[in-house]
Chains A and B, each alone.
Chain A
Amino acid sequence: MFIQLLMNGIALGSVYALTAIGYSLIYSILQLINMSNAAVFLTSSVVFYLLYNSVSKGMIFVTFILTLAFAGCLGYIIELVAIRPIREKGDGNTYALISSIGVKTILEKVCQGAFGSEIHPFPTLLAGKNIVLWDGTKIEWIQIIIIVASLLILTVMTWYTQNTRTGRGLRSLSQNLNACHLMGMPVNRLIGISFAVGSMLAAVSGVAYCMYLKSISISVGAAIGNKAFAATVLGGIGILKGSVVGGFILAIIECFVSGYGNSTASQFISFGILIVMLFIKPTGLFGKKEQRKV
């Protein structure tokens, strides 16, 4: 039982982590919580399903690439249309935040309109094969694939932000946006790219989650959005490593509590931990205490 719960927690944690990286990436650059990220999570899963059943019948990998492309464009367009004009006026992020809520409502309702509220089977990788541990715990290969994928993406993202030119550009944006303007960096293009990357991450975690569940319905993104968001803050907002660790911790605790206790208690605890954590160490697990610049 213990190992089964641990495995459930790790698999779920990797989905939280993937979505959390999306939030953290955009937050670290713009100090903006991109509410539409959860809606992109849902839209990409729906697009994957529709593509899989129509255009690229049966070829998971091709559909995956197409969905990633779609999510990237969607992210860029969201930034271009709904966020950029508001951000540039510089009235503080509240208004960009409200606009991202508007985008979230639009995307969710479009998906509900197109997809209906029923549940449909969703393709998965290495279906049916699983490993049976000594005490009867069954672990699906898809769980392992998702865990590996999330760690892989974390390393790629950290390498990307450290070594490539655009990666360093994204990081410098998070330090000081105006300075980048002065240095002649194409700030708007970079922010667009960061939204695109964030959306692609949301797409990957959306599809991974649906593969993990082997089903898809329009309420798929609802719970994940809040939880991933909580994971971002638990690990230290803006720090990629933090959001992954935060995601795993939150998911493991949630699984253990709902395994031994009940699911209501697990909801209480996952939100309660967050507030207690913020009480003790507001900057999160990996955040550093900032000296107030007066």
Chain B
Amino acid sequence: MKKFLTVLLAVLMVLSASGCSRNQNNVEVANKDKPAADKDGNYHVALCLPFTGTSQSYAKYIEMGVNIALKQLERKGWLNGDGTGKIIVTPFDDTDVATEGAAIAEKVVSSTDPFYLLEIGSFRSDVSLAAVKTYRDAEVPQYALTSSHKDFLPSSGDWGFSLSMTQDIAASRVAAYDIKYLGFKKIALIYSNDSWGNETKTYYTAQAEKFGVKLLASEGYESGTQDFKSILTGIKQTEPELVMCFCAETDIVLIREQAEQIGLNCAWQVSSKSRTPNVLTNLTEKGLAEGLYGIYAQSKNLKDPVYMAYEEIYKELYPQVYADAKNTTQKYADQGYNCMATVIWAIQETMKTSTGTTRQSFRDKLATLNNFHSVQGNLTFAEGRKILQIQYLSQIVKKEDGSFAWINYEDIPFDADKECGFK
């Protein structure tokens, strides 16, 4: 038995040492220049989102946005205008788990039939981060539209894209609005203790200190916490004027409810992540909606023709979802639509060029996105492909007919970037 064993070990050693002589099936060096269209001219896009698990609703909304953009393109006769040149989206479910994201990346990167032009997703930053190495090594564009982790773009080489602001700008602007515009001095902070929440806390606190305001309390809670009463009781002692919440929409509803239960009366603010119709409907039913501040990335100009066309198809394809959200479109659906719209634009631009649409040409074109007329105002990829979006203060106000709605203060005489010294 011992002889048998040593023979086997020797075989394995030889195989691993002879690594360099095998065929190059691991890293598709040449793929980035391969024309992305398959034999009948269609382009394939991988959509990797948490279709099951605790963020499945967000995944559903993003997919809706993508489908609306595709339906619009279909009505215009697809890419070539004559019904050919379709874009085929293949969904993958990463169940919000990092290892799943990495496994899907491997599948997308190595698949030759269908040959994917790019990958859209995933929803949470750490799932996208788990896959960034694979996409970078295989040189496949990774469009993590909702990833705001500061390490995502730098570590993705030049193959990563995102439609979310990184927190160093976004969180600082929120601090500018709260302190400089709304004039709050006594501020307490609640944040979810994950990579997103932690980052927002760091930049928000730093910016507040720059404005000479020291936070009364800064309470992080472990994900999965549902009883916030004790944290809120601690905060109530500090008698804050404003409580800033960097948390998901499920948490803010609980926090607002329980704050009411323990009699913590002050102003409340959420970040763009929880400025959603679902928060509006939940809080309205509990009578706590009035006055909640929020942040809205980009302006949703309801009269804008691009938005009107998008809303038309939205109502047509998803009437129930539209009605549930009190006749407004979901934020993540807008972002999904924008993402797909930019992809369609980049493909159409590169189709005309000599090399045709390849991963490399698509990536180079997409990186030059400038003042792209999207559903949420103009999108521009600044240096390092950082997205520059305008952020507006937003609030739930009571309309004449007694109902509540999110409104954006777009025309206020206040420039957050100047206050934070970004300009």
Contact = CB atoms under 8 A, between A and B. Distances in A.
Tell whether A pairs with B. Answer: yes
Interface of A: 1, 4-5, 8-9, 12, 109, 112-113, 116-121, 130, 132, 136-138, 140, 213-215, 217-220, 222-223, 254-260, 262-264, 266-267
A253 B380 CA distance: 51
B233 A4 contact: yes
Contacts of A8: 227, 229-230, 233, 262
A112 B285 CA distance: 24
Given A112-B56, A140-B261, A258 B220 contact: no
Contacts of B234: 1, 258-260
Given A116-B57, A255-B229, A264-B220, 16 more contacts: A8-B229, A12-B227, A116-B60, A118-B250, A119-B249, A119-B250, A119-B282, A213-B226, A215-B253, A219-B54, A220-B226, A223-B224, A254-B230, A258-B231, A259-B230, A266-B230
A138 B219 CA distance: 22
Nearest to A119: B250
Contact of A263 (B231, B262, B285): B231
B99 to A, nearest CB: 16
Contact of B54 (A137, A218, A262, A264): A218
A214 B278 contact: no
Interface string B134-177: 00000000000000000000000000000000000000000000
8 contacts: A112-B54, A116-B60, A119-B253, A136-B263, A213-B227, A219-B54, A255-B230, A263-B231
Contacts of B52: 109, 112-113
Nearest to A130: B261
B55 interface: yes
Nearest to A127: B286
A138 B233 CA distance: 11
Interface string B191-227: 0010000000000000000000000000111101111
Given A5-B233, A258-B231, A264-B220, A117 B263 contact: no
A121 B285 contact: yes
Nearest to A212: B227
- The dominant DSSP class at the B interface is helix
B254 interface: yes
A46 to B, nearest CB: 14
B77 interface: no
Contacts of B220: 262-264
Interface residues of B, number: 37
Given A120-B282, A264-B193, A219 B227 contact: no
A257 B225 CA distance: 14
Contacts of A137: 262-263
Contacts of B221: 263
Contacts of A112: 52-54, 56
B349 interface: no
Most buried by A among B261, B278, B286: B261
Given A119-B278, A119-B282, A259-B230, A138 B263 contact: yes
Contacts of B261: 130, 138, 140
Interface in B27-62: 52-58, 60
Contacts of A218: 54
Contacts of A132: 263
A117 B57 contact: yes
A215 B288 CA distance: 14
A136 B237 CA distance: 12
Contacts of A223: 224-226
Contacts of A12: 227
Contacts of B58: 117
A222 B226 CA distance: 10
B54 to A, nearest CB: 5
Contacts of A213: 226-227, 254, 257-258
Nearest to B263: A138
Contacts of B222: 263-264, 267
B236 interface: yes
Given A109-B52, A264-B220, A1 B236 contact: yes
A8 B229 CA distance: 7
Nearest to A255: B230
Given A119-B282, A121-B286, A259-B230, A1 B225 contact: no
**Smallest CB-CB A-B distances: 3 pairs:** A259-B230, A119-B250, A255-B230
Contacts of A140: 261
A213 to B, nearest CB: 6
Contacts of A262: 219-220, 231
B57 A121 contact: no
A5 B282 CA distance: 26
A1 B239 CA distance: 12
B238 to A, nearest CB: 11
A1 B60 CA distance: 42
Interface in B289-320: none
A263 B225 contact: yes
B286 to A, nearest CB: 6
A17 to B, nearest CB: 15
A221 B127 CA distance: 24
Contacts of A258: 230-231, 234
Contacts of B282: 119-121, 215
Contacts of A214: 257, 286
A256 B234 CA distance: 9
